[in-house]
Amino acid sequence: MADSTNPTVYEIFESMEQGPAAATSTPTAQAWLDHHSRSLGFFMDGKFILPADRRSLSLTDSKGGVVCSTVCAEDADVSQCASSAAAGWKSWSSLSCSQRAKALLRLVGVLGLHGQCVSELCALCEASCSPTALVRLLQYYSSWAQLRDTLIPGWTPVGVVVVVSSDDCSLYSLMLKVLPALAMGNSVIVVPGRSAAPPTLLLAQLFTGAGLPAGALNILTGSDVTLGAKVSRNPDVRLIAYCGNKQDGLALCKASAGMGVPVSVSSCVGATCPFIIFESADIDSAVDEVIQIAFKKKEVHWVLCVQESVSDSVVARLKLRMANIKSVPLSSDADRVLVDAAVQEALQQGATLVQPCGVSPGARYPPTVLCGAAPSSPYVVTPPPGPLLPLLMFRSNTEAVLLGNHSPHGHAASIWTEDLTLALETAKSLSVGSVWVNSSSVSDPCFPVSGHKDSGTGTDGGQEGLYQFLRPSFSSPLPRPSPVSLEYSKFGTEAAQVVIPDSTDGASIPQSYPQFVGGKACKSVSGCSVAVQAPGGDSVLAFCPDGGRKDVRNAVEAAIKVQPGWMKKSPSARAQSLYSLAKGLESRRKEVSASVGAQLGVPAEEADREVELSVGRLNVWAAYCDKVQGGSPPMTQSGAALSFPEPLGVVGIVLPDNAPLLSMVTVLGAAIATGNAVVMVPSQRFPLPALAFVQVLQSSDLPAGLVNIITGNRDQLTVALANHSVIKAIWYWGSAQVRTTRYHR
């Protein structure tokens, strides 16, 4: 007979009280925190370290209660952690691919056993991530650990990787950087944000207990992301991978500038993403999805774009669905001030509000739709933190794309329509990294994701996301330069020295070469020229234009006009243009070879060999045009996924002094074969081979403005390229001082 003191199932159901918890041998999150006295230190060399006399920071939950405290690392802790990671990398990278894969697979079982504890700790710290998602990450990257040498031959791990996240970054986004770095054989130093620090420390303990070598995974906590820059001062660190908001990412880049460490940035937090509803959409399903994602605490802000013909229907359904939604807690009183200011500004601009209840004072605010918002309003471009959803209207498909691309971010978008052709055309026209059709926030590690515009430069997921943690095995690691200080106000301002020979003695004046901008040979805007010295330096070979900022501006304007059309050309059409360019270089072989020989002072056979290699290199890139293709990554749920490689846009290229012709056609072919336009700066010492190549470009069928060549002071032109907002990337060969410098727009 059952104990009469225990409530029946019916009584529990009626009172909605929680039943007795099942007995478990695994510790709860509270027990784990209590075991560490709710004061968490660092994790290095496979164990916890809690040094004395360190400043600590408290982590609070949504109700204001203190969850735990973390300590802030000092220089001695940073040095110890870097030494631990260097030793861990030697033991971890020495394992075979199969051994690393087995170690990662063991973590799946450990995570399954302690999944409840991880889930509870994530909920306490508001670092959203489910154990199921972590298991999927481990399964995916353990398979890549097994197949690295098979599917990615000729590549080796970079070494010690520092992974940094902002305070508002989720645990999932952080582990999407950590696990592929481990799978490729690197050791990792994690500098987590405040909310993700406790779950990350718990995972490090579980992973090490499951067999991960000591030092392979290290956790260092601090007050802000600049701790990652302090760690990167160690010569063993080879890469910084960042995920989080744009402001912290910018601070990290500034703090690490001059250290010679590449930084991969994924600004996945705080981005503004369009949610586009066409008239051909299933309105009920679209509105249900909006309610699910728009008013919860989230990493991104959504902007609702609705076709005008169905706007009334969408607003009516929103009012109905929002009727029973409660007010949402805000993070702080400062957020409440920002939300109130945004709502007042919207009302002054003529917007109308849709709210389920009245606004009351305090740190809670009702979900609010701002109907009739202006696209250029600050609360649309950069919405404040809070349950606000701007609603914009559009008439045509073109207007929908313009609204979707109006944001400075390019993280993701959601399109709702039952017209597949319309969905694909809109998806390819949006400047975002991910587009969901009739869904939203679908993520899987097999999907390669790369942001556009302010949403970062890094690629996560898929095979493409692994290369940031690898380097070619045939090349040795680049030496780490000492940090340099650079006076930006004076850099690149040196005036070129122009020497004009006196021809009164009967000597002939050297030839003056033009530069190549917008498909035309032309002088520089300044009208000045610089002398090109002979190899011995005792005479002047020729004069070339002294280009400057205005020449870069003109070249970029020409490139941006032609690049979208070149990108849309079929791969076979781009290949034919490159084959034609190679044929044109072959037909002018003697002239170009003579220019290379005169400029470098090498024998005719050596100059002719460089031209021959250049012709072959152009043919290689022509053949490569139709080999760059996307695919269809497998879906873990119903539906289909498509992956499309996209060009960067307009690329700046500052060429090296070595092999001036071959180096130029190598990077030129790579850029235009994949759909980009280029603005090139030839070698300042040896510009004549590039200027001789101008005649080949003039006789080719490449669109005018696709390739631009500007000569002059390399540092001055580098500054102009780096400060231009349209330039999407710069390939730079030059001084170590400039290579270790970062420019911030």
DSSP notation for 7-19: PPHHHHHHHTPPP
Average pLDDT estimate for 26-31: 82
Number of domains in the chain: 3
Claim to verify: residue 254 and residue 294 sit in the same structural domain: no
Residue 187 and residue 250 in one domain: yes
Q: What is the pLDDT of residue 508?
A: 59
Closest C-alpha among 259, 199, 200, 203 to residue 228: 259
CB within 8 A of 67, min separation 6: which ones? 33, 38, 59, 60, 61, 124, 125, 198
Question: What tens digit of pLDDT does each residue of 475-506 get?
Answer: 777 777 666 665 656 665 654 444 444 444 44
Residues, the chain: 745
For residue 230, is pLDDT > 70?
A: yes
Domain check: are 713 and 618 in the same one? yes
pLDDT tens column, 164-221: 999 989 999 999 999 999 999 999 999 999 999 999 999 999 999 988 999 999 999 9
Contact (CB, 8 A) for 145 and 100: yes
Average pLDDT score over residue span 387-397: 94
Q: Is the pLDDT score of 22 beyond 60?
A: no
Within 10 A of 639 (CB to CB), how many other CB atoms are there? 11
pLDDT in tens, 292-331: 998 876 788 999 999 999 999 999 999 999 988 888 888 7
The last residue of a domain, from among 233, 267, 301: 267
**Can you give the pLDDT at residue 9?**
67
12 domain residue, yes or no: no
248 and 116 both lie in a single domain: yes
Mean pLDDT of the chain: 88
Same domain as 241, residue 365: no
**Where a domain ends, among 267, 290, 317?**
267
User: Sign of the C-alpha dihedral, residues 298, 303, 307, 309?
Assistant: positive
Q: Would you say residue 59 lies in a domain?
A: yes
- Whole-angstrom Cα distance, residue 744 to residue 742? 7
| pTM attached to this predicted model | 0.88
Q: In this predicted structure, what is the pLDDT of residue 487?
A: 61
By mean pLDDT, which of 613-627, 632-646, 701-715 is the weakest? 632-646
pLDDT score at 458:
82
**What is d(CA 84, CA 75) in angstroms, rounded to the nearest whole number?**
14
Residue 117 lies in a domain: yes
List all residues 6 or more positions away from 112 whose beta carbon is below 8 Å from its beta carbon: 131, 135
For residue 736, is pLDDT > 70? no
The CB density around residue 26, as the number of other CB atoms within 10 Å, is 11
pLDDT for 737 beyond 90: no
CA 710/CA 720 separation, integer angstroms: 12
Residue 83 is which amino acid? Answer: S
- How large is the average pLDDT for residues 13-28? 57
628 phi and psi angles, rounded to 5 deg: -85, 110
Last residue of a domain, one of 392, 422, 440: 440
One domain, residues 262 and 305:
no
- Beta-strand pair 449-450/459-460: antiparallel
Question: Looking at the domain assignment, is residue 740 inside a domain?
Answer: no
pLDDT greater at residue 333 or residue 492? 333
Is the pLDDT assigned to residue 472 strictly greater than 70? Answer: yes
CATH classification at residue 150: 3.40.605.10
As given in the structure block, the two tokens for residue 532 are: 């090109």
CATH code: domain of residue 394: 3.40.309.10
Q: Is residue 221 assigned to a domain?
A: yes
What's residue 494's pLDDT? 54
Q: Do the domain assignments include residue 287?
A: yes
Note down the domain range covering 314: 272-440
**Same domain, yes or no: 260 and 286:** no
Write out pLDDT tens, residues 69-80.
999 999 999 999
Q: What is the pLDDT of residue 638?
A: 77
Q: Got the DSSP string for 664-710?
A: HHHHHHHHHHTT-EEEEE--SS--HHHHHHHHHHHTS-SPTTSEEE-
Instruction: Give the pLDDT confidence of 241-255 residue by residue, as tens digits.
Output: 999 999 999 999 888
DSSP 606-666: HHHHHHHHHHHHHHHHHHHGGG---B-PPPSSSS---B-----SEEEEE--SSSHHHHHHH
| Co-location of 244 and 312 in the same domain | no
Q: Which of 25-29, 30-34, 42-46, 212-216 has the lowest mean pLDDT?
A: 25-29
Q: What is the DSSP string of 469-532?
A: GEEETTSPPPP-PPP----TTTTT-PPPPP-----TTSPPPPEE--EEETTEEE--TT--EEEE
How large a percentage of the chain has pLDDT more than 70? 91
DSSP reduced 3-state for 311: helix
pLDDT of residue 502: 46
CA–CA gap between residue 342 and residue 363 (Å, rounded): 16
Confidence of residue 629 (pLDDT cuts 50, 70, 90): confident
Same domain, 665 and 725: yes
Strand 160-165 with 237-245, pairing = parallel
Does 10 reside within a domain? Answer: no
- In this model, does residue 382 exceed pLDDT 90? no
Digit-coded pLDDT (tens) for 394-440: 999 999 999 999 888 899 999 999 999 999 999 999 999 999 999 99
Instruction: Kindly tell me if the per-residue pLDDT of 668 is higher than 90.
Output: yes
Let me know whether 223 and 351 are in one domain: no
665 and 686, same domain (yes or no): yes
Question: In this structure, are 559 and 674 located in the same domain?
Answer: yes
- 557 vs 482 pLDDT, higher one: 557
